[in-house]
Amino acid sequence: MGPKSERVYRTIREWISAGKYLPGAKLPSERTLSEELEIGRTALRQVLARLVAERVIEVHGRSSYRVPDRSVSTEAPRDLEPWQIHGERTLYDNRWVKLSLVDVEPPGVERFEHHVVRLHHVAIAAVLDDQDRVLMLWRYRFVPESFGWELPGGIVDDGEDSAAAALREVEEETGWRPDALEHIVTYQPMVGMVDSPHEIFVGRGARRVGDPTDVEESGHVAWVPLADIPGLMERGELLGSGTLVALLHVLASRAAGSSPTAAA
C-alpha cells in the first residue's frame, strides 16, 4: 500500500483501538469513509480488505463493515470465597527484591504464613516488521547459565507509564524505535508466591535510531523470522516467560488469521 493507504489503515485501526467504534459497532459507509479520510474508493477497499484479512473488522451485509464482537461466554464461578489476609511481615528488602511472610487463611483451612517474593513491574515488547520477523536479543543469562533469544523489556520505573517503559526499553536495548505498541495482556509469571506484574506489548514497524545505549542489558540484536520461533522453542533457546507469552500470542494470532496487534 502507498503512504495514503497506510495512513488510512493506521487511522481506522487507531479508531477501533481507542474505542471510537466498539465491538459490534458498524463502520460508516465506504462513501463516508472515503470523504472523511480523503482517499479514493478503490484504495479504501484495499485497506478495508486488509483489515478484514487481519480480523480487525468484518464484512456485515453488502459493502458494509463492523467491529467483531469477541466477548466471552464463560462466566466465573460466584460461590467461592477468597483467602483472608491477616497481615504481612518483611524478612528481607532492597531496591530489587522484597521477601515477606503473609499471614493467610484459606476458606475452611487453618491460617498459616506463606512466603511471598515481591519483584518489580515489568514491560516486554514484541516488535514485528513487514517481513514477518520479530526484533530479538541473543543474550547470556547467568541464572540458568545459558544463552538464548529474548524480547526487549525491563522494569517500569516509579510513576512511568508501562507502554512508555516498553518503548524506552526497546530503544535502549536494541537501538530501534517502535512506531507504536499495543497492550496485549498483563500476567503474573509465578502467581503462587511471586508478585511481579508483566505487561506484554506488540507492535509493527520500527526505525533504527542508533546503537543500544543500555550496555549491560543489550546483546546481539537481530530480526528473527517468526517461522523460526517454534524450532527455537523446541531447542530451548527462548528465554523468559515474557518472551514466550508474547511470541505465543503472535503465533496464535497468525494461525487464526488475525493481526498480532489486535486488542485482546
Domain presence at residue 261: no
Domain presence at residue 153: yes
- Cell of residue 202, nine digits: 506488540
- Cell of residue 210, nine digits: 542508533
Shared-domain flag, residues 26 and 47: yes
Domain presence at residue 33: yes
SS3 59: strand
Report how far residue 234's alpha carbon sits from residue 232's, in angstroms, rounded to the nearest whole number: 5
Contacts of 192 (CB under 8 A, 6+ apart): none
pLDDT at 158: 93
| CATH number, residue 44 | 1.10.10.10
Look up the domain containing 203 and give its range. Answer: 122-256
- Angle, CA 155 vertex, CA 153 and CA 158 arms, to 5°: 140
Task: Pick out the chain residues at pLDDT < 50.
Answer: 262-264
**CB 170 within 8 Å of CB 250:** no
β-pair partners for 101: 89, 115
Of the candidates 250, 107, 105, 111, the one whose C-alpha atom is nearest the C-alpha of residue 185 is 250
Work out the number of other CB atoms within 10 angstroms of the CB of residue 231: 10
pLDDT at 264: 38
Of the candidates 180, 158, 164, 179, the one whose C-alpha atom is nearest the C-alpha of residue 123 is 164
Q: Which long-range contacts (CB under 8 A, 24 or more apart) does 47-53 make?
A: 47/1, 47/5, 47/8, 47/9, 47/12, 50/1, 50/9, 51/9, 51/12, 51/13, 53/257
Report how far residue 11's alpha carbon sits from residue 38's, in angstroms, rounded to the nearest whole number: 12
Domain presence at residue 30: yes
| CATH number, residue 156 | 3.90.79.10
Shared-domain flag, residues 149 and 247: yes
Residue 149, CA distances (Å) to 64, 137, 199 in order? 43, 5, 19
pLDDT at 261: 64
Of the candidates 131, 133, 202, the one whose C-alpha atom is nearest the C-alpha of residue 170 is 202
Shared-domain flag, residues 144 and 207: yes
Shared-domain flag, residues 59 and 101: no
Work out the number of other CB atoms within 10 angstroms of the CB of residue 85: 12
**Cα 150 off chain centre by:** 14
Shared-domain flag, residues 135 and 201: yes
**CB 243 within 8 Å of CB 149:** yes
Report the number of distinct structural domains present in the chain.
3
Shared-domain flag, residues 62 and 89: no
**CB 135 within 8 Å of CB 223:** yes
The radius of gyration of the chain from alpha carbons, rounded to an integer in Å, stands at 22
